[in-house]
Chain A
Amino acid sequence: MERNLMKGNEALAEAALRAGCKCFFGYPITPQTEISAYLAKNMAKAGGVFLQAESEVAAINMVLGAASTGVRAMTSSSSPGVSLKSEGVSYIAGSDLPCVIINVQRGGPGLGGIQPSQADYWQATKALGHGDYQLLVYAPSSVQEMVDKVTLAFDMADAYRMPVMILADGLLGQMMEPVTFPEKKTDFIEKPWATDGHGGKRKHNITNSLYLKPEELEKSVVERFKRYDEIKAKHTEAELYLTEDADIIVTAYGATARVAKSAVNLARAEGIKAGLFRPITLWPFPVNEINEAVKNAKVILDVEMSMGQMIEDVKLATNCSKPVEFYGRTGGVIPTPAEVLEQIKKLGGAK
């Protein structure tokens, strides 16, 4: 298969097209704008809809409308814009609609900055919008994974009738790497629930997140959480790199995991037994996988481009069975392998 060199944002957009994304609604924001620009150029050719909305709020509600009709729909933004989408995402989750949401993270809070960040981990995995619900969250770490995960995200969204997020960052969005693409998807699952006009052939369908009777709302939430349980059981993903004999496990996701992997390699070159645990699904967090990774370790070093958000899941998932230390840079500063190596050494990194 031909290897192309593409920016993460553009590769993701192309993958969405190949996954059969029919409608894209967005609003410009750095550092994800290449996604919109690519789709503005190519969506119509593929027979789909590209529309620049008047706001992020409108964009996510356009996604809700399009997804209601059963077509594959996507929106993308960066941190401040994703905050604006949170209302619509909650409605989409409450209406059991599939869609894909991209967050190419930048520094915050507020307007923050435009450089890469991972400060929206909590937002993505715990609290994007109100109510009892979850997003399935993938954290790619390379341009190839941007492609692979967006392809998978559409399938998972359809299968489980839920919004799926790709949590990337400015570094992954802006960098170019070799990438190969899957064939264009042609087989899609049936969506008998779609509000696409009943044609006189069935009772009317209703897309809805409103249940005024508490028992009915509870029932709908509980039913949704059963699907979440199935995802937890079947669909967690993680990469374990040199963990088997490692004394120290570095935990990191997304772009930071690349830095961490370089640091692990540097440490190994100095005879330090270091390894890397990289969650690919952030929700659900890969609990079994991390426990497998740390089973022989003496200490865990969590590295993030934030003040430490995933670290709470690392501690919870390992049930605090090992000490968990933290190293983070934030505000758009990217940690270097040398910095992470220094932390590894500080933690004993026993030879």
Chain B
Amino acid sequence: MNYDILLAGFGGQGILFAGKILAYSGLMDSKEVSWLPSYGPEMRGGTCNCSVCISDEPIGSPLVVNPNVLVAMNTPSLEKFIGTVQPGGTVIVDSSMVDIKVERTDVKVCYVPATELTSTDPQLKGGANIILMGKLIAETGMFTTDTIKAAFEKVVPAKRAHLIDNNLKAIKTGMEYNG
């Protein structure tokens, strides 16, 4: 198992949190993991990306340059990173935020209108990032839902425990989405 994951979008879309969930899931499965955010003066609205490595082996550079999994939550991110994806890699796109199609044929692309899906259910509000994680694990088999659940329980502070169910529902929504 060796995943080099790049998540990218606008600040405020939950890119870093989604990455954290993946990293914690790796931790739950006793894998080697690393999580590296892009950092800059901008807090919201600026571009944001996050490198996550999950492996059976110790992790060298934590900076993902050629991902085998790309999650793109806006058009500039997809345009910027699609050329860097390893052949045979998986690309998850929030199609409600991205108005272009991937031309490459050597990668698997899943279009999920994640942001749109959140508008129909108050429980999914703000959960587009997590819906995409659901699709990601369904496509790659990276983690079981039990592992994801354990990760949420570890990450979400006790006083916000009620959010765990919402997040798990978002995971399920993503896993079951077939567009």
Contact = CB atoms under 8 A, between A and B. Distances in A.
A–B touching in complex (CB under 8 Å): yes
A114 B24 CA distance: 27
Contact of B33 (A31, A178, A265, A336): A178
A114 B35 contact: no
Contacts of A258: 59-62
A259 interface: yes
Contacts of A336: 61, 63, 65
B77 interface: no
A170 interface: yes
B141 interface: no
A177 B34 contact: yes
B85 to A, nearest CB: 15
A104 to B, nearest CB: 11
Contacts of A30: 39, 41
A305 to B, nearest CB: 12
A170 to B, nearest CB: 7
Contact of B35 (A175, A265, A337, A338): A175
B60 A265 contact: yes
Contacts of B41: 30, 114
Contact of A176 (B32, B34, B63): B34
A72 interface: no
B37 A174 contact: yes
Interface string A302-346: 000000000000000000000000000000001011100000000
Nearest to B37: A174
Given A114-B39, A171-B36, A176 B23 contact: yes
Residue with the highest number of chain B CB atoms closer than 10 Å, among A171, A174, A177, A259: A177
A170 B61 contact: no
Contacts of A176: 20, 23, 33-36
Contacts of B66: 338
B137 interface: no
Contacts of A5: 20, 23-24, 27, 33, 35
Interface of A: 3, 5, 30-31, 114, 170-171, 174-178, 258-259, 261-263, 265, 334, 336-338
3 pairs of A and B residues whose beta carbons are closest in the complex? A262-B60, A176-B35, A259-B61
28 contacts: A5-B20, A5-B24, A5-B33, A5-B35, A30-B39, A31-B39, A114-B40, A170-B39, A171-B62, A171-B63, A174-B37, A175-B36, A175-B62, A176-B20, A176-B33, A176-B35, A176-B36, A177-B33, A178-B27, A178-B33, A258-B59, A258-B61, A258-B62, A259-B60, A265-B60, A336-B65, A338-B65, A338-B66
